[in-house]
Chain A
Amino acid sequence: MGCEQTRDLAAELALGITDGEERAHALRHLAECAECRRAVEEYSAVTDELLMLAPAR
């Protein structure tokens, strides 16, 4: 998987909703590409904050 495909998938990776095979391909690319890693991390910051939106009960 290259940069373009990984970027397309970055939001779904951060949401943890990619299927196993897709995820494996993406992780292999991320291991070697700091820029794509940063793209996923930026989206992960969003999912982190979304977790905090659920009201405490």
Chain B
Amino acid sequence: MDGLSDETLLAAMGAGDADAAAVFVRRFQSRVYGLALTMLRDRGLAEDVAQETFVRAWRHAATYDARRGRVPTWLLTIARNVALDRARLRRLTPVDPDVVTAELDRAQPDDGLDVADRDRLRGALAELPDDQRRALVLAMYAGRTAREIAELDGVPLGTVKTRIRAAMSKLRTTLGVEHGL
């Protein structure tokens, strides 16, 4: 079963196959936990998020649509939502964007995903002006709204919106050019 594609495993899990579910969890656990830990900086909370993520994945496996993205992305989107819910519920102070940026820079083993894309994106992130990267990281990994970031940093709302847009636009170009879009 370890040789099955992500999509096949997910479908089997959705159909109630317990072995498939076990393999699915084993395949993605470190990635889901890693994202939760990056976002929350708390091991216990990250474990809790990982568990809840797999429960939701199992519950919603039938609604997965391959045309709308790959399984890892689908799963990590669920994990991000769960992590943001938890952070909001506990009123956690937003993660330090510099700590998150350093975390994203950690070397990691080749896990079959597109390493070249990841490296390119990491490079583009590093090249962003500090204020743009800070706004983007707070939005992406702490789920802060533009208004919240503006209050946090004591800058006008319009400035934050412009920073987020500029950062996203540069990253889009980085990925888009290489994808030949």
Q: How far is the CB of B108 from chain A (nearest CB, A)?
A: 5
Check B145–A19 contact: CB distance below 8 A: yes
Answer yes or no: B25 CB below 8 A from chain A CBs: no
- Nearest-CB residue, chain B, relative to A53: B104
Q: How far is the CB of B57 from chain A (nearest CB, A)?
A: 14
Check B104–A45 contact: CB distance below 8 A: no
A46-B168 contact, Cβ under 8 Å, with A51-B76, A51-B80: yes
- Nearest-CB residue, chain B, relative to A51: B76
Check B176–A12 contact: CB distance below 8 A: no
- SS of B interface (majority): helix
Q: A54 to B111, alpha carbons, bound, how many Å? A: 13
A43-B168 contact, Cβ under 8 Å, with A12-B139, A55-B106, A55-B108: yes
Answer yes or no: A8 CB below 8 A from chain B CBs: yes
B81 / chain A contacts, CB cutoff of 8 Å: 16
Check A11–B164 contact: CB distance below 8 A: yes
Residues 102-113 of chain B, each 1 if its beta carbon lies under 8 Å from chain A, else 0: 011010110101
Check B37–A57 contact: CB distance below 8 A: yes
Check A55–B104 contact: CB distance below 8 A: yes
Check B146–A17 contact: CB distance below 8 A: yes
Check B140–A15 contact: CB distance below 8 A: yes
Q: A42 to B171, alpha carbons, bound, how many Å? A: 10
Check B34–A54 contact: CB distance below 8 A: yes
Check B118–A49 contact: CB distance below 8 A: yes
Check A55–B34 contact: CB distance below 8 A: yes
Q: How far is the CB of B41 from chain A (nearest CB, A)?
A: 12
A14-B121 contact, Cβ under 8 Å, with A52-B72, A52-B76, A56-B111: no
A55-B38 contact, Cβ under 8 Å, with A15-B139, A15-B140, A50-B121: yes
* A–B complex contacts, Cβ < 8 Å, 12 sampled: A8-B161, A11-B167, A17-B144, A19-B147, A42-B172, A49-B121, A50-B121, A51-B76, A51-B77, A51-B79, A54-B31, A56-B30
3 shortest interchain CB distances as A-B pairs = A11-B168, A57-B34, A56-B30
